[in-house]
Amino acid sequence: MSFEDPTIIVALDFSEAGAALALARRLDPAQCRVKVGLELFSAEGPAIVRTLQGLGFSVFLDLKFHDIPNTVASACARAADLGVWMVNVHALGGARMLAAARQAIPAGGPRLIGVTILTSHGPEDLAALGLGDSSERVRGLSVLCREAGLDGVVCSPREAHELQDLRAGGFVLVTPGIRPEGAPPDDQRRTRTIREALAAGADYLVVGRPVTRAPDPSAALAACLAEARGAPRPVLFDT
């Protein structure tokens, strides 16, 4: 991956199209991709994806599909019809659901990645859910996703360094809730800075409020990219 393949994904966490598009028009689609999540997609539907694509952006459709295998497969097929760059499913849906999702996306279609454990969950949240140690659970779910043929996983940068052996062959790590140096964590619990996430082995970084709520989003994105360019990267031995 190089900077011709943008590392930063800007999270368009807005409640309606006007605000999302106003922000998107202040960004360069050659420097970032954008993420459309549950709130924006629920408000605007597929039309917002098509409009962003018309502006030149590659879209990560972040809906975290989690249902019976047939339903998830159908949803993934519709996402592929939209021409999105990336779509995700929840790894806790299990092996049969993951396999069905994989089979529903044609060759050359969107990248399919699995969500492991949400970065808003702290140790007490995981204990209450019976999920135990986050690192152990994230690794188990990541292995499940790789075995099902998915293209990568969403994980905390705190776990990314433990998944480097899974990255061979193009399996990617997407880390949400990333903050530039000095930015507040907001409601993220298991996060890291841009430099720390890339040093840990993340491939794509989802950045939201530090860009979308900045007085000058373009300048904030440029600062994120500068921090990314200065970050050390682990050596990946492709086997």
Annotation marks residue 62 as catalytic: yes
**Annotation-wise, does 179 bind a ligand?**
yes
**Annotation-wise, does 225 bind a ligand?**
no
Name the active-site residue from 67, 133, 187, 203.
67
**Annotation-wise, does 106 bind a ligand?**
no
For residues 223 and 180, the answer to whether their CB atoms sit within 8 Å is yes
Annotation marks residue 64 as catalytic: yes
For residues 229 and 3, the answer to whether their CB atoms sit within 8 Å is yes
The three-point CA angle 136-192-6 to 5° equals 105
**Annotation-wise, does 67 bind a ligand?**
yes
The three-point CA angle 156-157-158 to 5° equals 85
**Annotation-wise, does 188 bind a ligand?**
yes
Long-range contacts of 45-54 (CB under 8 A, 24+ apart): 46/82, 47/17, 48/17, 48/20, 48/21, 49/82, 49/84, 50/82, 51/17, 51/21, 52/12, 52/20, 52/21, 52/24, 53/83
Name the active-site residue from 5, 28, 62, 216.
62
**Annotation-wise, does 68 bind a ligand?**
yes
**Annotation-wise, does 13 bind a ligand?**
yes
**Annotation-wise, does 8 bind a ligand?**
no
**Annotation-wise, does 146 bind a ligand?**
no
Name the active-site residue from 64, 81, 125, 133.
64
Nearest CA-CA partner of 123 in 115, 113, 133, 114? 133
Binding residues for substrate: 13, 35, 62-71, 119, 179, 188, 208-209
Question: Active-site positions?
Answer: 62, 64, 67
Please enumerate, by residue number, every residue annotated as part of a binding site. Answer: 13, 35, 62-71, 119, 179, 188, 208-209
